[in-house]
């Protein structure tokens, strides 16, 4: 069995309150070990053909690779936007102590 990987998911929210609320749900359901809420960010994008920008907060969710698919699905369900921007990637270089903590917090040790 190859060493397990971590995973990170980056997802902006309209405000800090909704970010904290969803992070709490995902922690309750052991889909993440930790959430980092980052600054106020400025998003620039197009919506229905119009260039627009929005002030948001970004959240970096941390989990095990084996939990990442369930995390992404659940995050999509409980996010306040209809089409949230949810980007996830594997982390193949993990500190062993961090990986052990991650597996324990997300109940993924036995996988």
Which positions touch its own copies (CB under 8 A)? 6-10, 12, 16, 20, 23-24, 27, 33-46, 51, 56, 58, 60, 62, 68-69, 72-73, 75-76, 83-95, 97-98, 101, 105
Identify which of residues 2 and 95 has a Cβ nearer to its own copies in the complex: 95
Please report how close the Cβ of residue 15 comes to its own copies at its closest, in angstroms: 13
Please report how close the Cβ of residue 93 comes to its own copies at its closest, in angstroms: 3
Strand partners, 20: none
Please report how close the Cβ of residue 68 comes to its own copies at its closest, in angstroms: 5
Question: What secondary structure letter does DSSP report for 3?
Answer: P
One DSSP character per residue, 71-91 reads: HHHHHHHH-SSSS---EEEEE
Closest CA to 34 of 105, 107, 108: 105
Tokens 């409980």, residue? 78
């Amino acid at each position: 069995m190859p060493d397990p990987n971590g995973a990170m998911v980056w997802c902006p929210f309209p405000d800090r309150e909704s970010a904290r609320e969803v992070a709490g749900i995902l922690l309750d359901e052991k889909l993440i070990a930790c959430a980092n809420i980052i600054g106020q960010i400025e998003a620039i994008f197009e919506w229905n053909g119009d260039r627009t920008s929005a002030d948001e907060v970004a959240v970096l969710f941390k989990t095990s690779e084996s939990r990442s698919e369930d995390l992404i699905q659940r995050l999509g369900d409980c996010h306040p936007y209809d089409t949230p921007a949810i980007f996830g990637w594997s982390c193949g270089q993990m500190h062993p102590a961090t990986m052990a903590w991650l597996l324990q917090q997300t109940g993924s040790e036995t996988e």
